[in-house]
A = this chain, B = another copy of it.
Amino acid sequence: MPQDKDKKDSTDIRMKGFKEKKDVVDFLNIIDEISASKKFEVVCLNKAAGRVLASSIISTVKVPNFNRSAMDGYAIRGEETFGAAPYSPLDFKVLGLSLPGKPFEGCVTTQTAVRIMTGAPMPEGADSVIPVELAQEENKVLRVIESIPPGKNVGRIGEDVKIGQEILNAGRKLRPQDIGILSSIGTPSVSVIKKPIVDIFITGDELLKPGSLPKGYQIVDSNSVMLDALVYRDIQIHPNIIFLEDRRELISDALSKSNADFILVSGGSSVGQEDHAPSLVKELGEILIHGVALRPASPSGMGIINGKYVFLIPGNPVSCLCSYDLFASRAIRRFSGINCELPYKSITLPLASKISSMVGRMDYVRVKINNGFAEPLAISGASMLSTTTIADGFLMVPGECEGYPSGEDVKINLYD
């Protein structure tokens, strides 16, 4: 029996309880050793937003490649407008038209102008554009009533991008406008950090698959769909979801054979006798941390098997959410090269009632916002997912803190 094999190990903590729980910051420090993946892939521009550049982008072209009008109006020689005013207008002969992509082929000479649209090439000879609002044209004669300095309303060659200019750095998470500028310099695709492959192992013989109705002593699994949505939120690809019976050899086999970068094991992470995952990680690789001074989610842990990061995530759904957000999410984000901080917007609000917390343990407290106050819902109730759907957000009470009095300003991370 594989269960017995492991019982000989005197460090097995199953049915003994955690000897020591590490601080949350110790766990975070271990995660922060993880660096961004060195695996890259090339993606087209229309798939590149949100991705992280593998290397810097240097422009080989000028944008624009010609002087262009910044307004709809008339291209003229600016110094010839000097003195123009409503009661002493100056007239210019309109020679023709310059449109974007369709330049005027001639030359602007003394007392002449060319009608020009925004973005159109400046005709030879002209050095400024008088906006349409400040001019009147009739019978091919332009009447100017205001002077305009040379150079005004003209976009110069290379004003946006110069040759040799580093326009985006390696490690940059690409914004929509970055995709725009990449397009403007003629880049069809970019090399970006490859997204991690994430496997999610769902263990627990009491679990029915999502889509089932709960019956008898079985409950319907919620962690698979929740973790799926959380991983998708972080890296915009769905993880592989694998349901496993609580059998040691099955879980061992799955841990060994996975080709993922991250394996998240939901359930079986604690000190119960069916909790195989921690000892299996130790057996197959190295366990870096197991047991955290955190409520809920204390049976969280992490290890490495053949270069694969394994996160032990408690089966209780609130613990699962808390453990994923605090630990696995941070690791997956670091590996993906993106900001690893909690992805929630935050606000500061006064507490509606006091929070008591044990010194030495961090607490994840769900709160509801009522009339500008944050009302603590629950510290315990790790099995009650409804506390996280009723809540508007959560706050963390640090380990060194014994809680907060009513009225204290606290930082709330807003769900969603």
Contacts and interface: CB of A to CB of B under 8 A. Distances in A.
A210 interface: yes
B120 A206 contact: yes
B119 A214 contact: no
Given A99-B205, A119-B383, A217-B103, A133 B45 contact: no
Contact of A101 (B15, B131, B206): B206
A173 B415 CA distance: 11
A388 B178 CA distance: 8
A270 B72 contact: yes
Contacts of A271: 72, 132
A72 B274 CA distance: 10
A219 interface: yes
A199 to B, nearest CB: 15
Contacts of A180: 222-223, 225-226, 317, 321, 385
Contact of A17 (B17, B132, B345): B132
B315 A383 contact: no
Stoichiometry, copies per complex: 2
A367 interface: no
Residue with the highest number of chain B CB atoms closer than 10 Å, among A137, A210, A230:
A210
Interface stretch (A22-30, A58-66, A278-286): A58-66
Contact of A45 (B210, B223, B272): B210
Contacts of A370: none
Contact of A160 (B211, B213, B384): B384
B119 A315 contact: yes
Interface string A370-401: 00000000000111111011000000000000
A232 B382 CA distance: 35
A99 B132 contact: no
A183 interface: yes
A220 B183 contact: yes
A46 interface: yes
A326 to B, nearest CB: 14
Q: How large is the interface on A (under 10, 10 to 19, 20 to 34, 35 or more residues)?
A: 35 or more
B238 A210 contact: no
Interface stretch (A3-11, A84-92, A184-192, A353-361): A184-192
B133 A49 contact: no
Contacts of A18: 133
Contacts of A257: none
Contacts of A316: 118-119
A112 to B, nearest CB: 18
B183 A137 contact: no
A184 B63 CA distance: 55
A291 to B, nearest CB: 11
30 contacts: A15-B72, A15-B132, A17-B132, A45-B225, A46-B210, A46-B229, A64-B214, A64-B219, A64-B383, A65-B215, A100-B274, A101-B207, A103-B217, A115-B273, A119-B204, A119-B206, A119-B315, A132-B271, A160-B385, A176-B226, A177-B321, A177-B385, A179-B226, A179-B229, A180-B222, A180-B223, A180-B225, A181-B386, A186-B213, A345-B345
Q: Which 7 A-B pairs rank lowest in CB-CB distance, beginning with the nearest?
A: A101-B206, A100-B206, A180-B222, A17-B133, A180-B226, A49-B229, A176-B229
